[in-house]
Amino acid sequence: MAVFLLVRHGHNDMIGEKLAGRLPDVHLNKEGIEQARQLAREFKELPIKAVYASPLERAVETAQPIADVHHLPVEILPALLEINFGEWQGQDLEKLKKGRVWKHVQGKPSEFRFPGGESFLEAQERVVQGLTLLSEQYAEKEMVVCAGHSDVIRLAVAHFLGLPLDNFQKIRILPASVTVLYLSQGQAFFGPINYTFNFPQL
């Protein structure tokens, strides 16, 4: 049973301000860089076999220090990519929250598709399929780091916990947090969810 360490990328200047989505050149800020370094220190003694990341810079920058201490490459896994927010990408969060559609996003995400982008269901199916296929490549108890994004990790957690998609936003995944998922042949068990090594609670 593969052991996935699902890591949300570290802090960046768009968190809480804008919907970064798949915008290029969104990098870790000073706080995020230190979070990534601390993750590497915490993971140094773990028997990590591979390190994967979303293609986006902030995820790769979070994964890189972990990979470095284990002398491993960061392998890009498209299944970990952030949701395609379409026309909402780069938009101001406060402005979006005042819009009529925001209540629909929060109340019935299973029915929502981002204009010009993907639905929450499509994103969930993508990450679940990616993790399931990846689990088949590793033996029991082999540890694999997967650095991705808040919503993608929450969608995966909701699926493997058996939660309805409409409840996925009740799960909190903080920057640079770690969620431990044991996965094999469709069976899933969890260790800690949203563990932050005493990072500031943002």
Q: Encoding tokens for residue 5? A: 């360490």
| CATH architecture of the domain formed by 2-190 | 3-Layer(aba) Sandwich (3.40)
Q: Encoding tokens for residue 200? A: 């500031």
Categorize the per-residue pLDDT at 82 as very low, low, confident or very high, splitting at 50, 70 and 90. Answer: very high
Q: How far is CA 94 from the centre of its chain?
A: 22
Q: What is the pLDDT of residues 15-33, one digit of tens each?
A: 999 999 999 999 999 999 9
Q: What is the pLDDT of residues 140-195, one digit of tens each?
A: 889 999 999 999 999 999 999 999 999 999 999 999 999 999 998 879 999 999 99
- Identify the pLDDT of residue 195: 96
- Identify the pLDDT of residue 121: 98
| Residue 2 near residue 142 (C-beta atoms within 8 A) | yes
Give which of 28, 31, 37 is closest to 9, Cα–Cα.
28
Span 61-66, average pLDDT:
98
| Residue 159 near residue 124 (C-beta atoms within 8 A) | yes
User: What's the pTM value of the predicted model, to 2 decimals?
Assistant: 0.95
Q: Encoding tokens for residue 73? A: 């490459």
Residue 74 has pLDDT above 90, yes or no: yes
- Identify the pLDDT of residue 197: 85
Segments making up each domain of the chain, as ranges? 2-190
Categorize the per-residue pLDDT at 202 as very low, low, confident or very high, splitting at 50, 70 and 90. Answer: very low
| Percent residues over pLDDT 90 in the chain | 90
| Residue 155 near residue 120 (C-beta atoms within 8 A) | yes
Categorize the per-residue pLDDT at 100 as very low, low, confident or very high, splitting at 50, 70 and 90. Answer: confident
- Identify the pLDDT of residue 201: 47
Alpha-carbon distance 99 to 196, whole Å?
Answer: 32
- Identify the pLDDT of residue 199: 54
Span 122-129, average pLDDT:
98
Three-state SS string across 3-26, please? EEEEEECCCCCCCCCECCCCCCCC
